[in-house]
Chain A
């Protein structure tokens, strides 16, 4: 029985691991980036926006996605980097809609520059996609009120799956906690509203877990009033 599809069912805590997979596609300049973006595996767009949270990455990124990072650090095109960085995945129904926006931003930049910058071959952008392995932890949450305490005990993989990966599974960036709480009618509306305002960008999963616990605690406090 799934946690997210019915009323009063227990919340099924899942965990996940990502494995990175090479797509074999690389870009050495802006035009190549745009051309590959047109039809790259959509798992690659997912990976370059979210994969960094579960994969090796320095915890001080300036930008929230790899396309913006590469534009800044490798192409040295700050205008493009800023435009790419402002793309918020929660604004789109699915990865295809996000792809169209990315292509739009790249096309606009191509219109503006006479000669797209090149990078040396060892600085090219590698399109990577990921496979996600999801497993049931066997852990069930029966009472919504226990969520704040239990969330802080979840692994970072669980946080990734229920909050970040969920944004790809649901249209308009919902998450599994909100989907579950929504099954209890309007009772937990304040909690859901607070959860909806959490932006998982620019923080590690450990920080996100802490933030969720705080937000849930405040939301349930409000719901009890």
Chain B
């Protein structure tokens, strides 16, 4: 107790940044869901174990997982023996991995936090989600500053967006003929909305915020096409010689925008990243 106290004292003297608000030593947490990992990292919590680190770094990209975090293996079946050896104090999961609860709770208390629910994904939901995670890791102050800085960034970006920007048709290619189009309930949709832009996709989406459609269904949708990378192998070459795709882009009346990979099912960090990349892309195009 005494040691903790002196440590705290030292901390509060040394750090004047928001790290100073860490009221106690860092909790040993493990996380399975990438959305939770990205949020935890943004809150300054470094999980001792995370699932599928290499894939996280390829698909979520930022914030990067520090190298001392141990890889737990697959998200659907995190390695129980390794997890038991790490002795975490808390394990975070999302409802998607609910069936793991009986096994994981033998190692440490399991906290199940949901984000993607039907008709319930919004900027407000992102904020609540961040605050819930922060509360469970004692990072309330970090959460407030994360939300505030995110809102400030988004507000700045919204001022940079040209006023005449059309509604956006945001999509990810699955193969040469199928796309996920993101609309309501999606991260991309929220990011666009936060910087004052509209989504051009008004059809119903699933609880992850996308519709899976053939590109023939995009005909007649009025809006600027925004393609989020990565494009599957061979698709780029295929689109270049696809007369229908050329026509599709032409009929929107705007050039196609391409955005580097952003995790489509993330929370605040991915939203801010997407908003930034989107603004840059719009700027470059209008030049």
Question: A and B from one assembly?
Answer: no
Residues of A within 8 A of B (CB): none
